[in-house]
Amino acid sequence: MISIRFKLSLWLSGLIIIATLIGLFLFESMLRDAFHDSIINRLEEDLEHIIIATRLDEGEIVIDQNQLSSFYRPAYSGRYFQLNLPDRTIRSRSLWDAELQIEQLQAQQKRVWQAKGPKNNDMQLLSIGIGAPNSHNTATLTVAQDLSIGRRVFSEVFGTKLAINIGMLLAMIAGIFIILRQSFKPVNQIQGALAKLREGEIASLAISQIPAEIRPLAETYNELLDYTAKQIERSRNNLGNLSHGLKTPLAVMQQQVEALGLTHPDAAIAMQQQLDLVHKMIERKLAAARITGDMLPAAQLAVPKDFDSLIQTLHKVHHQRSIDCSIVNPQHIGRIPIHREDGMELFGNLLDNAFKWANSQVHVSIEELPSGVILIQIEDDGLGVKQEQIALLTSRGTRLDEATIGHGLGLSIVKEICDQYGFVLQFSRSKALQGLNVSILMSN
């Protein structure tokens, strides 16, 4: 999903670009109209000057070009005039040998149009009919201006304006990205705080550092964390109370077993084995409660810290055996994508099972595959499991060896946790240690 900051950047940039294009279009239209109006005004002024410079000389109409602008003198200067009389034509010197194609107009009639002129350049022309009203003996006076020079000036002005607008547009877009980046800094800080929370470095989000817009969400998140932490603490206390509460009845049963041993030694031995089993289960659960007691509810499983805690606890539980447990983590993965309490129960059961069945070695490997999936393998050098019995491993209450201490619940709990998180649980024979190999594939 596209981030909010990126969406805002796109929308604001798009609005600015559209506004700039509309502004450029309006400016170009206004500039073109102003350019056209200024040419027409100049041509009207030229008409007045030429009319003033026109006089009769020995019965003939002449135009004194000395009274006119010097622009009419150089050949093809871009400023022209032409007076079409009934019997002859008077042209400006700037027309040289060219002649304008003019339509005769009636008296006081005006015409504004564009046509090709000398050198095949576009020209703006203004004509007016001169003569007495209702008289057929009229003249047509025309002034013209080459548009090429004006258009070049127009292009320069518009090009300068365009360059300035593009520069301002780029500056505004850059400003938008900078402003949004600064505005979203608190969100980035929240992401960092959540990462610390996941790693167990902090217990809750600092509300004072969070913007007012998302502060209610952070407060609700903190309340949820507090509630979850209390639930975990309550469960841990209940487990501890249950374990401690069983000690007194077990002590009484221990005395009865000792008394029974005087008369029925075989029955006493069988009951003593079951009592020892209950004692070890209680010790294991109390050790697990101590491990999970200080966990933060949002924390993920840490590597190798949490694995080391599990291994140390299992060494104490299986103190009568010498098990060498090694962890291989070549990519130095620091976090496992599972809630720490669930992770401790998941891998605690797997490692406990490996410790029970191993002869002397347990091997744990952690690696991230090219697809981004994390693969965790726990291997032991025990007898392993036959292929036809693998399906029974995760059945609740099923034990493949009745001589081994346990109730057959460990691997079924492992399967339930894996199903809950969508992990892939696989069993096979270890190629390196020849015992059981348990593999878990975790989507990161």
Tens of pLDDT, residue by residue over 326-338, are 999 999 998 888 8
| Confidence tier at 408 by pLDDT (50, 70, 90) | very low
Q: Which CATH number fits domain 299-443: 3.30.70.240, 3.40.1190.20, 3.30.565.10, 3.40.50.880?
A: 3.30.565.10
What value does the mean pLDDT take over residues 13-28? 90
Q: What is the pLDDT of residue 375?
A: 94
Per-residue pLDDT tens over the stretch 315-372? 988 888 899 999 999 999 988 888 887 888 889 889 988 998 899 999 999 999 999 8
CATH architecture of residue range(s) 4-153: 2-Layer Sandwich (3.30)
When the pLDDT of each residue in the chain is averaged and rounded to a whole number, the result is: 82
1 band by pLDDT with thresholds 50, 70 and 90:
low
Model confidence pLDDT, tens digit, residues 285-297: 665 555 555 555 5
3-state SS, the chain, equals: CCCHHHHHHHHHHHHHHHHHHHHHHHHHHHHHHHHHHHHHHHHHHHHHHHHHHEEEECCEEEECHHHCCHHHCCCCCCEEEEEECCCCEEECHHHCCCCCCCCCCCCCCEEEEEEECHHHCEEEEEEEEECCCCCCCCEEEEEEEEHHHHHHHHHHHHHHHHHHHHHHHHHHHHHHHHHHHHHCHHHHHHHHHHHHHHHCCCCCCCHHHCCCCCHHHHHHHHHHHHHHHHHHHHHHHHHHHHHHHCHHHHHHHHHHHHHHHHHCHHHHHHHHHHHHHHHHHHHHHHHHHHHHCCCCCCCEEECCHHHHHHHHHHHHHCCCCCCEEEEECCCCCCEEEEEHHHHHHHHHHHHHHHHHHCCCEEEEEEEECCCCEEEEEEEECCCCCCHHHHHHCCCCCCCCCCCCCCCCCHHHHHHHHHHHHCCEEEEEECCCCCCEEEEEEEEC
Q: Is the pLDDT of residue 6 over 80?
A: yes
The whole-number pLDDT of residue 290 equals: 55
In this prediction, residues 76-104 reach a mean pLDDT of 87
pLDDT over threshold 90, residue 143: yes
Considering the entire predicted model, what is its pTM? Answer: 0.48
Lowest mean pLDDT among 67-76, 163-172, 191-200: 191-200
Where are the chain's structural domains?
4-153, 214-294, 299-443
